[in-house]
Structure 1
Amino acid sequence: MLSELRPQVLSILNTNAEVSVRLQEICNLLQENISYYDWVGFYFKNGNKEELKLGPYAGEPTDHTIIPFGKGICGQVALSNENFVVPDVQAQDNYIACSINVKAEIVVPLFVNGENIGQIDIDSNTPDPFNSEDEDFLEFVNKEVAKIL
């Protein structure tokens, strides 16, 4: 299923639309086509500050528009530069709840020229839905997104 979306991701990113519009379309595509991707969004490093700022997203509105480095799953990925798959958010001490419905989360860092400049964040209302195929797919998405940033 995920591999079938790769050509659509490339098609969206290869248009001449504004970057923010293309990122929004990626969020919409993933959220609408992957049943367990209930919230899909991009966070980006906020200038020189040690924090992330919410970019385009699809799903329920969130109050978490700014996330300090080290706080929550996203903030931890900003420091670790590594994928973080959380099968059960309740089992995480350093978790920022966006919705009581969220059961699992996956965050994959976004690198431009070797620098972690942001990430894609997926929340799922399904317990433990993510696997290595999700990680591979989201790494692919971020590699392609990096080319337009």
Structure 2
Amino acid sequence: MSFFAPPLTGAKADQYAQLNQQIGLLIGDERDFTANMANMAALLFHQLADLNWAGFYLMKDGELVLGPFQGKPACIRIPLGKGVCGKAAATRVTQVVPDVHAFPGHIACDADSRSEIVVPLIADGRLIGVLDLDSPKPGRFDEDDRAGLEAAAGLLLAASQLV
């Protein structure tokens, strides 16, 4: 299958509407969670401006473990409550961090990262993992990103057969 994702245009909210439509088309009828995460990470990494990492961490044996991603090699395991990913997982609340260097306990997997957003993946009340995006640009993420990425995570979870 060949997939073409045209560049995103318009205001940020419009771009996320386009992006989430692209995610829906990319996933299609595929139910495999790992395959869908891998394609979604690639799409986010290539479609959203100013990213240096996009990917997933999955809950395994009480901690977050690296899943499909795009970008430099990353930290493999993150304890709940530690760093931005661990806090998002522990609180089950999306974390929008304009300056990771000012975030207490930030885990620096890539020294070039300056801002981060982490969306918890919750299905049937169960924490599945997190969607994590990093940027070398301070203040890169805002409420439009939060809303758009939470919607994208919802599409992924609804379409996939979860383990």
Measured against the shorter chain, the TM-score band is: over 0.9
Identify if the C-alpha distance between structure 1 residues 117 and 18 changes in structure 2 by more than 3 Å, giving closer, same or farther.
Answer: closer
Q: How many residues align?
A: 146
- Match in the other structure for 1:122: 133
1:37 and 1:140 map into 2 onto residues whose CA distance is: 19
1:91 and 1:36 map into 2 onto residues whose CA distance is: 20
Q: CA deviation at 1:55?
A: 0.8
Q: Does the CA-based 8 Å contact 2:36-2:156 persist in structure 1?
A: no
Structure 2 regions of 5+ residues with no counterpart?
1-14
Taking structure 2 as the reference length, what is the TM-score of the superposition?
0.85
Corresponding letter in the other structure for 2:38:
Q
- Of 29, 41, 49, 1:35 maps to 49
Q: Does 1:53 align with 2:53?
A: no
Write the mapping of 1:14-93 to structure 2, written as runs, cut at 5 A.
14-16=28-30, 18-46=32-60, 49-62=61-74, 64-93=75-104
Q: Deviation digits for residues 91-141 of structure 1, max 9, x if unmatched?
A: 112100011110000001011112222110001011101111100111111
Q: Deviation digits for residues 11-31 of structure 1, max 9, x if unmatched?
A: 122233743222111111111
- Of 120, 144, 148, 1:137 maps to 148
Q: Deviation digits for residues 62-118 of structure 1, max 9, x if unmatched?
A: 1x1111111111111111010111100111121000111100000010111122221
Q: Does the CA-based 8 Å contact 1:102-1:126 persist in structure 2?
A: yes
Q: Does the CA-based 8 Å contact 2:114-2:137 persist in structure 1?
A: yes
Q: Does 1:106 align with 2:114?
A: no
